[in-house]
Amino acid sequence: MSFKKALLYITILSVLLTNIFTTTFAMPETASQESTSGENTEPPSDAAQSSPARAARPEVAAEAAILIDADTGVILYEKNIHEKLYPASITKIMTVLLACENGNFDDNITHSHNAVYNIGPGSSHIGMREGETISFSDALYGILLASANEVCMAVAEHIDGTVEKFVDRMNKRAQELGCVDTHFANPHGFHDPDHYTTAYDMSLITKAAVHNEKFLEFFSTPHHNIPPTNMVNETRYLHNKDKMLLDTSPYYYEYAIGGKTGFHDDALNTLVTYAGKDDMRLISVVLKANGAAVAYSDTVKLMEYGFTLYEDKTLLSQSDYTADIPVIQHYKDRVIDLGSVSLKPESDFDMKVPYFIDKSAVTAKASLDPNTEAPVAVGSEIGTLDLYYNDYKLGSRSLVAATGLDAIPQSELEHRERMENLKAFALSAAKYTAAILAALLVIIFAVRLINGIRRRRNGRYKRIYSYSGKYGGKSRKKKVKYKFKIK
């Protein structure tokens, strides 16, 4: 047998032995999935045109104004919304928001010398004295209802130690909210050339604020009393400076939920209003209005216009959305892929939205857990589905399982494990057996090769002995000679 033939036999035998044990119990890898639906479109430049069902686009006298949906942020009206202007006391919306986010409502606020005396001439205040203490909640009522500048300073110092550090927090929070044209120089809005904002940025700040429950409690209160303190024996009676919230005022607006006014000579009148009607929630910002009456009038125009823009629509139904998600099961240190289940929204996206938003303008984005564990019952919550109009989040629905999937019984998993262990052992034995057989074949081949060489050598060479004469009466071999003879 030639060396090449022996090597070929070894290779064929190894392949055959290995293939016998290649069948395994598969545990496929898991996968994640995100599904989208719909297209993205730009909003119209004007939110609505005049029609029998909608109010005409209003003429706003203020220098800048914006109207947005308070829940989604969708812009319904805009005028010079990115023009940098002075906010005056509507600055206090940010101050109270940060107090609600970072303060302790069980604390008391003590007014320092700096808080009482460094608020600027002509500042609005409630007559707090150096060393006077009020509750944290009373302080925030004093800021939003009476626009008390000295209380703003005291709250800033209480939260961050210094007013300067608190102002840094204000600017950082503004950036987090997406404000790019805002810079605060103090916590109350007293005029400073480096203290400015825009209608758009103030709408972002207010949107975040009205979704804070504690803030909204202060923002929507028309009257509040601060009881006697450690230094003043009289009750302080506070009335909201936003007359749209006072039912005794000629500027009262029945749909107004909360608001904050502002004024100084450079800012003129500023006004932020939060209003609601039925399922609609709107935020308006008016900057640099020439007179409080103008600010109130502009705000009512904006609100009445905005409320006419809404329609009831089904933006996404359960049947419009389909998705699958893999389901896994853990067994000891293994992750078993069991397949997938189908998902659907828990309900249709029936919403009251501005008329210009329809199915073709929305996108659905799913947030799914990539490690969904079995068992999964029909109707169980798997993730969430968010609906977007451009970058505005319109709403969310839970994603629930439309199909179910059971877990593999423990006994079956144990059986699979035993079979896999047996397979592994058999495969390992096959590999060792193949190696031993290969070694034996090599040895056999080598022996046969060596024997063959010897036989051929014995046939080709002949040893010839020559003898000399007798020595001492004995005949012996004198020498040996090798002569080569080829057959």
- Asked whether residue 442 is assigned to any structural domain, the reply reads yes
Give the pLDDT score at 161: 97
Give the CATH number for residue 366: 2.60.410.10
Q: Is residue 53 part of a domain?
A: no
Q: 260 near 144, Cβ under 8 Å?
A: yes
**Same-domain pairing of 92 and 218:** yes
Q: Which DSSP letter does residue 360 get?
A: G
* 135 and 210 both lie in a single domain: yes
Q: What is the pLDDT of residue 41?
A: 33
3-state secondary structure of 194: coil
Residues with a catalytic annotation lie at 89, 92, 147
Q: Check whether residue 397 and residue 438 sit in a common domain.
A: no
pLDDT computed for residue 479 by the predictor: 52
pLDDT at 449: 79
CA dist., res. 153 & res. 116, Å (int): 8
How far apart are alpha carbons 113 and 333 in whole angstroms?
A: 65
Phi, psi (rounded to 5 degrees) for 124: -75, 145
Q: Indicate whether 388 belongs to any domain.
A: yes
CB 69 within 8 A of CB 348: no
**Residue 415 to residues 22, 333, 409, 425, Cα–Cα distance (Å):** 18, 16, 10, 15
Q: Last residue of a domain, which of 216, 247, 276? A: 276
Specify whether 430 is located in the same domain as 391.
no
Based on the structure, what is the number of domains in the chain? 3
Q: Are residues 244 and 101 in the same domain?
A: yes
Give the model's pLDDT for residue 470: 52
Last residue of a domain, one of 229, 247, 276: 276
pLDDT (0 to 100) of residue 329: 83
Residues forming a β-bridge with 102: none
Do 143 and 187 reside in the same domain of the chain? yes
Instruction: Point out which residues pair with 396 in neighbouring strands.
Output: 386
Q: Is residue 55 part of a domain?
A: no
Domain of 138, CATH number, reads: 3.40.710.10
CA-only gyration radius of the chain, Å: 44
Q: Using the 8-state DSSP alphabet, how is residue 81 labeled?
A: T
- Please indicate, yes or no, if residue 72 is contained in any of the structural domains: no
Helix, strand and coil in the chain, % to nearest 5: 35, 30, 40
Looking at the structure, tell me whether residues 125 and 264 fall in a common domain. Answer: yes
Specify whether 486 is located in the same domain as 465.
yes
Q: Do 388 and 434 share a domain, yes or no?
A: no
Adjacent-strand bridge partners of 256: 275
163 and 19, same domain (yes or no): no
Same domain, 192 and 232: yes
Structural domain span for residue 348: 36-44+315-401
Whether 116 maps to a domain, the answer reads: yes
- pLDDT of 37 reads 32
- Specify the pTM: 0.74
- d(Cα 46, Cα 78) in Å, to the nearest integer? 8
Residue 62 counted as domain residue = no
* 270, 337: one domain: no
Which pLDDT does position 414 carry in this prediction? 66
Task: Split the chain (487 residues) into runs of 10 and give each run's mean pLDDT.
Answer: 49 48 37 32 43 79 98 97 98 98 97 97 96 98 98 98 98 98 98 98 98 98 98 97 97 98 98 96 98 98 97 92 87 82 92 92 89 87 93 93 85 71 77 82 82 68 51 52 47
Residue 281 lies inside a defined structural domain of this protein: no
Whole-number pLDDT of residue 411: 74
